[in-house]
Every structure is written in C-alpha cells, then in structure tokens.
Structure 1
Amino acid sequence: MDSARRWAGVAALAIGIFVLITIEELPIGVLSVMAPDLGVSEGVAGLAVTVPGILAGVVALCTPVIVRGMDRRLVLVLALVSVVISCALSMVAPNFAVLLIARLFAGISIGLYWAVMAIVAIGQVPREHVARALTIAFSGAGGALVAGVPVTAWIGAHVGWRAAFAVVGLLAAVVAVLLLVLVEPVRTPAVVTPRKMLAAARTRGVRYGLGLAVLTVVGLFTTYSFVSPVLLERAGVPLGDIGLMLLVYGIAGLVGNFAVGPLLRRSAPLAVVVVITGTMLSLLAVLLVMDAPLSALLIMPVWGLFVGAISVASQAFIGSEASAVLEEATALNSAAFNAAIALGAALGGLVLEAAGQSAMILTSVVLVGLGAVVAGRYLATTGRSRPGAPVAAR
C-alpha cells in the first residue's frame, strides 16, 4: 500500500507539471482572442509569456538557497496556490496591465515548482526506480501539450479566454490538495549557497547544458509563442481548429517524451543532439512548407515529437553530466529554461512586429541550429557514450 501511495504521489507530481505548463503557455493558445479583447497587438500580448518567464528564471535560481531545510513538498503546494491567485486575477483583469500583474504570480509558481520537483520525485521512490519516477513525473509536460494547452485554446475560442484561466485555477487547487495527501515530505540535508551555485555553474556539463537550453528554448519560443497567429495567418487554419492543431502537436509531444527514453539510456548527449536537430528541421519545415491546413496537419506532429523530448533530454543531460552538483544544476537549468522561454517570446514579438512571420521563424531556425552545433561539439569532444538516466529537472 505504501508503494502504491508513493507512485500515486509521483503521478500527482505529473499532474502538477501539467498545470504549470498549461498556465505558462495558456496565453499562446488564446493569443488571437485575448489580444483584441484587451486592446493590444499580438506582439505586445506575447509579454504575457515573457513576464512570467523572466520572473520564473529568477525564482528558480533563488529557490534552493531560500528554502534551505524546508519540506520541498510544501514548496510545490505554494507554487500551486500561486497559480490559483494568478488565474483569479486573470479572470477579472480589465486591461492588459492587470493581466501582466496576474502573470507575475504565474512566474513565481513556475519558478518554485520546476526548481524542486525533480528532487521531490526522486525522494518518493527507491534509487533503482528514479529514472522511471522522473519519466512519469515529466510526462505531465507532454500531457499539458496534449490536453492542457489545446483544451484551453478551445475554451478560449468557444467560451472565452477568461474561462480558460478559471478552469486551470480550479485544477491547481485540486492538485495542491493531492500533493499534501499523497506526496511524502522531502528535505535536502545539504545547504545550497550562492557560492555553491556559482561553483556548479563553472562545471563543464552545466555550462554546456545552460548554453543548450538558452539557444534551443529561445529559438523554439521565438516562433512557438506565436503559433496561433502562425497557424491562422500563414497556414490558413480556421480559428476554431487551432485547438485541434495544438492537440495533434501535443499528442506527438507526449509520444516524444517516452520515445526518447532508449536513446537517453544509451547517451544523453547523443539524445540532445538528435532532439535539437529534429526541432531545427521542424522549424525549417514551418518556414518553407507550412502554407495550408493540410501541410500544417503534417508538420505539427513532427514538430511536437521533437519538442516533447526537449525537457526530458535536458534533464537527462544535466543528470548524467553534472550529477555531482545535482540540486544546484537543477536550479540553474530551470532558471535558464524559463528565462529562455521569456526571451524567446520577447524576441519573437519584436521580430514579428518589425519584420513579420517569415523573419521570426527564420530567427528560430538559426538559433536552434546553433544549439545543434553546440550539442554536436560537446558530443564530439566528450568522446564517450555513457548512460544518461534522467536525474535532473527542467
């Protein structure tokens, strides 16, 4: 029974990530209806992704230092409470300025959750089951792409974007209770200090991991933050079908989350090269081929397949190449990942406003391509292929 409860706790962690990914990317799915309702352009509305992403990066970086001996499970509960506050404010936001204030609470929640979730997941199971536990926990990210973002996009198009925030807020409250009931308390004996964080950042594996996260995620979100208008205007997808396209993308992402497992067990650096290269080629297809609903229907699942593997591949890379500084590397990787999402959304908005969609997508291709080059260089200079169990977080 105790074992069953622990695995139920791991599943609850996955639902928590589902909520966090959904709230983080919800504005992407409802951008085309939210922007005109608040009287701003789509490029400006992209700040709803940028602002929480920047704050999440800062919070993730500070969390291990601040929480010290605190039960990491309670940190996750506080993160979900912050989601509830963010959603409540978003529901009643009379203008874009108030929405941005609401999104600050989303940033706090994202930073808190991602900084400690992997540590909590590891603490739920025996050492020999760590990889399985983390794969299950991180499947919540793919699940959000499958159901969370598409469903909220559908709600936004058919009921209203404020209703989408209401649904996510309610789910966050339920998951907070589940974590309190099902998840075992986890405390880390070692005290993380700013000096230890700096020392971890100097290690080769962490340096490369952070560089890969920045290049790849900034490049990805330069375009993905505006996927709704890209589908609507570039591919001619009807507004009511955008949720379906995101659903196809998300299903493929969930498949990618699990399909990359065998490659990760062989070599995490090799898996990262494959995933980033596939993401770059997918974005190139968006730029050159995606000009009709049918081509969008073919390209979106391929794109989603590789994107769905990014989080777990990133965590595996940090886990295998920086295992000696696990908690510090986890926080640094989480900070870089979330800050990169923010930077990508900001960069995409700037390029979109200044030069249009083609230039925006080309920027993504170049940045993710540079990430593939860096990953390939690491693999070549490492000169080895060792197991890369996923033991660190996004």
Structure 2
Amino acid sequence: MQLSSPLTDHASAAGQPAWSAVGAMTMCVALLIAAEFMPVSLLTPIARDLGATQGMAGQAIAVSGLFAVATSLLIPAVARRHDRRHVLIALTWTMLASLVLIAMAPDFTVLMLARALLGVTIGGFWALSTATVMRLVPGELLPKALGLMYTGNAVAAALAAPMGSYFGAIIGWRATFWTLVPLVLINLLWQAASLPSLPPLPPDASKATTSVLGLLKRRHVALAMAGAMLSFGGAFTSFTYFRPFLETYTQASVPQMSMLLLGLGVAGFAGTYGATLLLGRHLYPLLRWLPLALGLVTVLLLGVGHHLWVTAIALAAWGALNAAIPVAWSTWLTRGVRDAPESGGGLMVAAIQLSIMAGAALGGLLLDHFYITATLLGGAALLAMACLLVGNGRRLQA
C-alpha cells in the first residue's frame, strides 16, 4: 500500500532514495535501544556499585522515559524551524555525552542526570524518525525503509541485554558502556556524510506539526495512545526486571542468563518478520491479541521459571511477541495519523516512553515491596487491559 502525505510527496519529488542516510538512522536507532535497555542486564552491579537498591537502579530507565516524553512533545515545534539534519546530529551528540557520563558516574545522582540526557535523544530522534524517513525515500519504498529501521531496533534488542550481562561480568558495567562510545562517533561521521539537508517544510506541509497534543482531540487517536501505553507499559513492567527474575526464580548463572536473554532478543527477529507479513490484512487483530498473548506468556514464566530449558522457550516466545508490538503500532501510525506524521510520531513516542517510565517504576515498586512474582503479574494485568481496550479495532479507526 502506498502512503500519501505532504512528506511522502516531497520524498517522491526528491528523486533517488537516500538509503545511506536511512542506514545511518538505523544504526543510531540500534545504539539508542542498546543504551536505553542495557541497564536491564546490569541492574545488580550498578545498584551495588552506586549504593542503591535494584528497584532504584530500575528508575534509571524510568527517568530516561520521563525526559523522552517531554522531548517528543516539544521536538516537532522546534524541529520545524531548523534543518532536520542538524537536529538529528545534535541529538546524537547528546547521546554521546550521556554515555560518557554514565560510564564515569560517581554516584546515583549523576547516573540519573546522564539517563535524562539519553532520554532527550530518545524522545527527539524517535519522534522525528518516521517523518524524516518519509522525506528520504519515495512513498512506495516507505514500508521497506521503516522495516530497515526496525531491524536496527531488533538487532539492539537482541544484543543489548545479553552483551551487557556478558561484558558486565568480564570488564564491569562502566567499561560496557564505554564500548558504545566509539560506535556513536562512527555513527556521527556516517550521519554527517549521508544525511542530506532537510530544511523546514513549507507552511502548508508542516502546519499539522504545530500541535502534538491537539491530536488527542481525535477520539480514535486518544484511544490508540491509551492502547499503546497499556501494551508497552505492561511489557516493560516485567522486562525491566527479568535479571532479578532469572537470578532469584530460575537461579541462572551469568553465562546462562546471557544465553537466555540472547534467545529472547534473537526471537525478536522472528516476531518482527512475522508481524510484517501479517500487518497488511490483520493490523487490528494483531493490536488486540499480541498483548494478551504476551501477558499469558508472562504468567507462564512464573509457572515454569524454575526449569531452565522451559524458561528459555518461554522467553523466546516472549521476545517474539514483544518485538511484534512496536511494528504493529508504527503501522497504525502511518494509517491513523498520516496527515500529521511528525506530530503523530511525537505523540506516539511520548505515549510509549511514558508507559516505559511508568512500567519500570511500577515494576520496581512491586519488586521492592513484594516479590518478583508481583512484578510479572502486574505487567500481565496491564497487557490484558490493552487487549480489552483495542477490542475489534473499530474504535482505533478514523
């Protein structure tokens, strides 16, 4: 299906697709995902080194979500006055500064500050990513370009947690974050060489970006944002604390934990690919049943968590289902808010990051005050609510 909007029309008129620029953005997305979620597999050593509880360390993910929310809501209005090339490169420099601060953090306060800077990049880059890609390739190539970018997401999701766990045990969590710094520098050079000038669009093409929150006046958009928040919030209530679950419930060693998390991540490729094949005709059933299936697997983990190999299979299923959810919601965005892609992108990123922040916070509270069982059950409950809200999908259509 060919998507049409002022932005895709602009891309079509531009001639040849800028695949190198799409590749640079894909690499940046992968690095962002790696930096955002690497603490999931490093919660225990980070907490121990900085004198915090594991629940407090989990809030490092929550704070990046808070700043990502604020940035994603503000960035469309800011970006429409500047060349997108300069904005994206500036955001990548901010990620670099964040990683250096994380690696050098002397205490928990500095760690939180560094994660806040990372949240600025996450919110800004993701909010602009879809609309930017729409200007880099013609409309008929947009699904392929977005699929490439989400492949970067899947690669990082597959590698961040297990590599963090493995290298954290060998060289320490600080050195693990240092390994990302040269990769970000390479990405900055790639962006500088490949991203074309993307000046502000004419007023008639960008007027829809003036109000991100204004989109919530559309009933189907407001309901979709609620459904997305419940889906992502439920997933991250559990996912953020999989390491404590595997340590205390499964009693996995560090090498075993690394392999379990790697299996979860690699299964994400299957989930991404499978969702891409089904989205053309089955978008709304996927939005409805994916969170319910993910919630059921989350509960299943509590039943089989004492058995290593069965846990490995359940985690692989969890990873596949979880990876399919963002693909489904990004596809809804191109249909549900196609007339305002930058504002819609900002709003979707805000909703997702707010749900990640809330999910990580809720999971940490349940872990600190109850037990890991409560954390996983809380996540499953939110996922079931997402299924109920989406229903047959009619309420999510304009």
Separation in 1 of the partners of 2:24 and 2:118? 19
Task: Rate the CA distance shift 1:382–1:243 in 2: closer, same or farther, 3 A.
Answer: closer
174, 179, 185: which is aligned to 2:186? 174
Cα offsets for 1:31-90 (capped at 9, x unmatched): 122111111110111111011111101101110011223222322212211111111111
337, 350, 366: which is aligned to 2:365? 350
Post-superposition offset of 1:383: 9.1
Partner of 1:336: 351
Q: Secondary structure at the match of 1:260?
A: helix
Q: Secondary structure at the match of 2:340?
A: helix
Post-superposition offset of 1:204: 2.9
Separation in 2 of the partners of 1:94 and 1:314? 39
Partner of 2:81: 69
Q: Is 1:163 matched with 2:175?
A: yes
Partner of 2:45: 33
Cα offsets for 1:207-234 (capped at 9, x unmatched): 1221012111111111111111111111
Partner of 2:336: 321
Separation in 1 of the partners of 2:227 and 2:98? 30
Post-superposition offset of 1:192: 5.1
Partner of 1:210: 225
Maintained 8 Å contact 2:285/2:393: no
Larger deviation, residues 93-102 vs 279-288: 279-288
Separation in 1 of the partners of 2:22 and 2:284? 26
Maintained 8 Å contact 1:145/1:254: no
Query: Percent of pairs identical after alignment?
Result: 27
Separation in 1 of the partners of 2:81 and 2:333? 23
Larger deviation, residues 272-281 vs 108-117: 272-281
Partner of 1:387: none
Q: Which amino acid aligns with 2:37?
A: E
Partner of 1:373: 388
Q: Secondary structure at the match of 1:324?
A: coil
Q: Which amino acid aligns with 1:150?
A: P
Cα offsets for 1:243-262 (capped at 9, x unmatched): 22111111111221121012
Separation in 1 of the partners of 2:196 and 2:99? 27
Separation in 1 of the partners of 2:107 and 2:15? 48
Partner of 1:242: 257
Q: Secondary structure at the match of 1:184?
A: coil
148, 151, 160: which is aligned to 1:148? 160
270, 280, 300: which is aligned to 1:285? 300
Partner of 1:271: 286
TM-score (norm. length: structure 2): 0.91
Maintained 8 Å contact 2:165/2:258: yes
Q: Which runs of 5+ in 1 are unaligned?
A: 385-394
Q: Is 1:103 matched with 2:118?
A: no
Partner of 2:198: 186
Post-superposition offset of 1:169: 2.1
Partner of 2:276: 261
Maintained 8 Å contact 2:72/2:346: yes
Q: Is 1:305 matched with 2:320?
A: yes
Cα offsets for 1:169-214 (capped at 9, x unmatched): 2211211211121223334334457863233112133212210121
Task: Rate the CA distance shift 1:193–1:260 in 2: closer, same or farther, 3 A.
Answer: closer
Partner of 1:364: 379
Larger deviation, residues 167-176 vs 129-138: 167-176
Partner of 1:125: 137
Maintained 8 Å contact 2:58/2:364: yes
Separation in 2 of the partners of 1:133 and 1:358? 40
Post-superposition offset of 1:382: 6.7
Task: Rate the CA distance shift 1:132–1:194 in 2: closer, same or farther, 3 A.
Answer: closer
Separation in 1 of the partners of 2:256 and 2:24? 30
Maintained 8 Å contact 1:115/1:334: yes
Separation in 2 of the partners of 1:13 and 1:194? 21
Partner of 2:61: 49
Q: Secondary structure at the match of 2:18?
A: helix
Separation in 2 of the partners of 1:170 and 1:237? 32
Separation in 2 of the partners of 1:114 and 1:257? 18
Maintained 8 Å contact 1:150/1:246: yes
Maintained 8 Å contact 1:255/1:305: yes
Task: Rate the CA distance shift 1:83–1:198 in 2: closer, same or farther, 3 A.
Answer: closer
Task: Rate the CA distance shift 1:31–1:198 in 2: closer, same or farther, 3 A.
Answer: closer
Maintained 8 Å contact 1:249/1:301: yes
Post-superposition offset of 1:136: 0.7
Matched residue pairs, number?
A: 382
Maintained 8 Å contact 2:17/2:138: no
Partner of 1:59: 71
